[in-house]
Amino acid sequence: MMVSVGSVLAGTVLLYFGAHWLIRGASSLAASLGVAPAVVGLTVVAFGTSLPELVVSVTAAVGGNGDIALGNVVGSNIANIGLILGAAATLRALSVESTLVRREVPMGLAAVVLVVVLAADGVLGRLDGLVLLAGFCGFLYWSAAVERVVPDAAPGEPAGATGSRGRDVAVAVAGLVGVFLGGRWLVSGGVAIAQALGVPGAVIGLSVVAVGTSLPELAASLAAVSRREDDIGVGNVVGSNLFNLLGVLGVTVLVDPIAVPAGFFRFQFPVLAGFTVVLLPVFGTGGRVSRTEGMLLLAAYAGYIAALYLVPGLG
């Protein structure tokens, strides 16, 4: 058991620093090559913060642990709203750009509905993966078309080139290796713990694995909020959720189809939809997310995690 716990902790640390290094090196390299900042933000930064979810979900699905793969995606999205946005708003009330309410939050809800509809037959197959990826490509195209404002580097990281392309490549490669190794360790440790404790794999994926893979988003959002770049911090949460549902889940089921446990229809999907819907009134209260609302989000997330472990059949 201790070896498995150590594997989860080591994997989580590697995922965090691996994503951090990958974003830093790739963003700097792209800047040195003259790539437009908006393109860097839409590709390098978005992909970098969601790469842990992608690696963990694909690794789990290929290893026959589809429940962990699906739980990781759904649990990460719930954690992004309840844990990350809640923690950021608890530290300081956030000012929210109105376009988030008008455009991106409804798109996030539409993505949840699309996943539920595709999973209605109990399986997310390769055709479903193609549909999700088509939606993801449409989202990227739409974002570029409306000139969505995105960070040109991860919050807290320098936006420009470092002056050494060789060093940028080395940092990016080191980050990529860290993410892949971290993903393997996190999945293997999580599966071992679930088996030892008799906990369903989906529950481990929805909680331990999901929080571990959400660390890059947590760091990015908290860093942005500390610099009073609220739109970046909040946009990171909403954008990451879209990326996870359409991109990460799309690639995962395209690689290996996933059987959807019944508990997802009874509890997980409704909870995810509920957390997404609640963003509309929260963001709509004067364009701010108050500290009280942040604490309520954290409390709701704590209740969700407690229910996972205390109520059978939810995973």
SS (H, E, C) the chain: CHHHHHHHHHHHHHHHHHHHHHHHHHHHHHHHCCCCHHHHHHHHHHHHHHHHHHHHHHHHHHCCCHHHHHHHHHHHHHHHHHHHHHHHHHHCCEECCHHHHHHHHHHHHHHHHHHHHHHHHCEECHHHHHHHHHHHHHHHHHHHHCCCCCCCCCCCCCCCCCCCHHHHHHHHHHHHHHHHHHHHHHHHHHHHHHHHHCCCHHHHHHHHHHHHHCHHHHHHHHHHHHCCCHHHHHHHHHHHHHHHHHHHHHHHHHHCCEECCHHHHHHHHHHHHHHHHCHHHHHHCCCEECHHHHHHHHHHHHHHHHHHHHCCCCC
- 189 vs 222, higher pLDDT: 189
Closest by CA position to 25, among listed 153, 135, 132: 153
Going from the C-alpha of 194 to that of each of 71, 198, 209, 307, the distances in angstroms are 13, 6, 11, 17
Whether the predicted pLDDT of 152 surpasses 60: no
Identify the band that residue 222 occupies on the pLDDT scale cut at 50, 70 and 90: confident
Cβ–Cβ contacts within 10 Å for residue 84, how many? 28
**Euclidean distance between CA atoms 27 and 206, whole angstroms:** 30
Comparing 169 with 261, the larger pLDDT belongs to 261
Q: Is the pLDDT of residue 203 over 60?
A: yes
How far apart, in whole angstroms, are the C-alpha atoms of residue 50 and residue 73? 10
312 residue type, one letter = P
- pLDDT for the residue 150: 43
pTM (whole model) above 0.85: no
Q: What is the pLDDT of residue 82?
A: 93
CA 302 – CA 154 distance, rounded (Å): 28
b/e per residue 208-235 (b: at least 16 CB within 10 A): bbbbbbbbbbbbbbbbbbeeebbbbbbb
Task: Please give the pLDDT value at position 28.
Answer: 75
Which pLDDT does position 223 carry in this prediction?
66
| Domain 2-310 architecture | Up-down Bundle (1.20)
User: Would you say 307 and 91 are in contact if contact means Cβ atoms under 8 Å apart?
Assistant: no
The β-bridge partners of 37 are: none
Which one has a higher pLDDT value, 89 or 238?
89
Phi/psi of residue 34, each to 5°?
85, 20
pLDDT interval class at 144 (50, 70, 90):
low
Smallest CA-to-CA distance from 312 within 219, 203, 227 is with 203
